Chains A and B, each alone.
Chain A
Amino acid sequence: MTATRNDPPHVAAPCDPSTAAPMTAEQVLALLVHSRRARESWRAEGLAAFHISAETAAELATLELAVVEAAAAGLRRHLLGRQHTGIGTLVDAFPKTVLAWRARYPADTELDRMMAALLDSDAALSWCETPAHTSGIPLEEAFYGFATAENLGSPNEREAERLTVLIRMLAVDPEPAYALPSCIRRSPGAAFAVLAGEPPTLYAVVAARILIGPVTPLVAELLSGTPTALAAQVHGVSPDAANTVRAELCAMGLIASDPRCD
């Protein structure tokens, strides 16, 4: 668990002092820098908005709201503008989802409101990405969770953007320092996900090469782990044909080898 995820999700969340440890000054600072709602509570209620000791309250007395607001704004600008190899910015990664945000909030031309809402979201609570923290999710995955909660754009397009980003990230860094969502399956030579649809779409990275495209329902079935005989039965193909397809998937590294592939 990271310090961030030990924090209460929002400053206004009920907090029972008898069971929760008081926040440290650094935890309060982190909350204030990341959460617009926390800053609003601070503005309205002062330090009484936080579950902190009297000593921490005294330490925080030197903290200036205007400076924290400026630091928070700088962080939002930084996160919106930063680029990652193979991914680009958040806007590059989720173009249709961001367009949906712009359509809903046309006055948010700089997307600052979007970034503030993202950082305030429950989805962002698991975001963490320093070399010392390897169990958090990347900001892109937090954005996907945020967009889903906000119902931005079409679910299918949103999921397609998400899977494209995750596969690109894995192509660049095959051993990620962040937690992968369960929709990504790993095999010895590859990582992949299948987006349901007609036809299903495969998102895969195989030997550092990205494969994105439609696949047959049988391929999707086999990639989901269904036994070959059952998959053949479900999709009305012969066991031999299904075994041939499975062997090809094994050869690509998408499915772990088993005796039937030899």
Chain B
Amino acid sequence: MPSTVARELRLPDDGGMPSPAKSRRLAVGVGLDLAWGGPVGFRRDIAAGDSVSPRVARFLESHAGELSHFFVSWQPRGRGRLDAAEYHHGWDDLFARVSTPVRALHHTALNLGTTEPYDRGAIFELTNDLVSRYRFEWINEDLGLWSLGGRPLPYPMPPLFTKEGLRAAVRNVRQCQDALTVPVVVEFPGFSGDMSPTIGPMHPYAFLRAICEETGAPATLDVGHLLSYQWRLGRRGEALYDDLERLPLDHAFELHLAGSSVVDGHFVDAHHGRLLPSQLELCERLLGLCPNLRAVTFEDPRIEETGALEPASADSLAKLRAVTKLWQTA
């Protein structure tokens, strides 16, 4: 069932597309990729029941009140058949600690970019259960290949920027829109390091725009992902901000910012909590270019054992809040 927010709000220039956007702009939120067994993640415990790791618990104890919105990335609990009930104990523990009612799910298994047959039936069933139980207002996923031939990838690859790639992505997004109970927000994919093979002649910005226009889907613009594409083309300095007009700016609902680095000449989407100045600069420009933008999210800040943000992450979050302050109150 669509959330109240999703039912009530519509983007103005899209023919009445339901949107997960709040009528107000949200302050900076946080997204966490919580791996099972990781220090920042979930713990499996057959006897006591699953839970979040102590580090996450401490972070939420001290920071939950500051988060305007929160997303969690879905990570498989193990190698068993998908069963939402397997997630309830751990996720119940997580969301008992999350005070904001504005919550989203960052998916990692929809595989929106694939041109091959991909059975999402069990994934939809699990996802809709989680949406209902934890009141997620939207689902976000990078438009990419999260697996190849049924085999996982360490970092999603870009979709095929071809006519067939576009047809397939539109088909995939529509299938997800039809099957999932809240809006699907399509994220621009990353071109991290030297590990993102690119197929096809279409400009990735125009590719995302075509998908959003064809499906009516809202978009997430990950600032580091955009920069990684321009960096890949050899652009530097002011040229990193080229081509923004080719993006689906009217459809942009959320910005993502995750810590990034330049390593050995490659732009790396490191998720280490340290934002580059160029990310803050691009964020500020996009705030002024995206009329329907509602959320800005800091992804995967580094959390210390005490639950405090690492100083570099705290500094990045403070800078991001400063950059978005005027936009948020306008």
Contacts and interface: CB of A to CB of B under 8 A. Distances in A.
B149 A4 contact: yes
Contacts of B196: 67, 71
B59 to A, nearest CB: 23
Interface centre among A169, A172, A174 (most CB of B within 10 A): A172
Interface string A69-80: 011001101100
A63 B198 contact: yes
B164 A3 contact: no
Interface string B98-132: 00000000000101001111111011001000000
Interface string A59-71: 1101110111011
Interface size class of B (residues with CB under 8 A): 35 or more
A86 to B, nearest CB: 9
A243 interface: no
A55 to B, nearest CB: 8
A175 interface: yes
B23 interface: no
A85 B44 CA distance: 9
Interface stretch (A10-18, A131-139, A190-198): A131-139
Contacts of A66: 194
Contact of A70 (B146, B148, B193, B199): B193
B194 A173 contact: no
Given A67-B196, A70-B195, A74-B195, A134 B81 contact: yes
A30 B152 CA distance: 11
Interface residues of A, number: 49
B117 A78 contact: no
Contacts of A67: 194-198
Contacts of B82: 131, 177
Interface string A160-189: 000000000100111111100000000000
Interface in A109-166: 127-134, 136, 138
Contacts of A34: 148-149, 151
Nearest to B43: A85
Contact of B150 (A68, A128, A175): A128
B151 A128 contact: yes
B153 interface: yes
Contact of A172 (B76, B78, B154, B155): B78
A41 interface: no
Interface stretch (A21-29, A220-228, A250-258): A21-29
B197 A131 contact: no
Given A25-B160, A34-B148, A131 B122 contact: yes
Given A3-B117, A62-B201, A83-B37, A131 B195 contact: no
A57 to B, nearest CB: 11
Given A26-B116, A26-B145, A177-B80, A2 B194 contact: no
B162 A25 contact: yes
A63 B150 contact: no
B152 to A, nearest CB: 6
B150 A71 contact: no
Given A2-B150, A71-B157, A130-B151, 5 more contacts: A24-B115, A24-B164, A32-B197, A138-B79, A173-B78
**Which 7 A-B pairs have CB atoms at the shortest separation, nearest pair first?**
A128-B150, A4-B149, A173-B80, A78-B154, A133-B150, A30-B148, A30-B149
Interface of B: 36-37, 44, 46, 76, 78-83, 109, 111, 114-120, 122-123, 126, 145-155, 157, 160-162, 164-165, 193-201
15 contacts: A3-B116, A4-B150, A4-B151, A24-B116, A29-B157, A33-B148, A59-B164, A62-B161, A62-B201, A64-B197, A66-B194, A67-B194, A67-B198, A131-B82, A132-B122
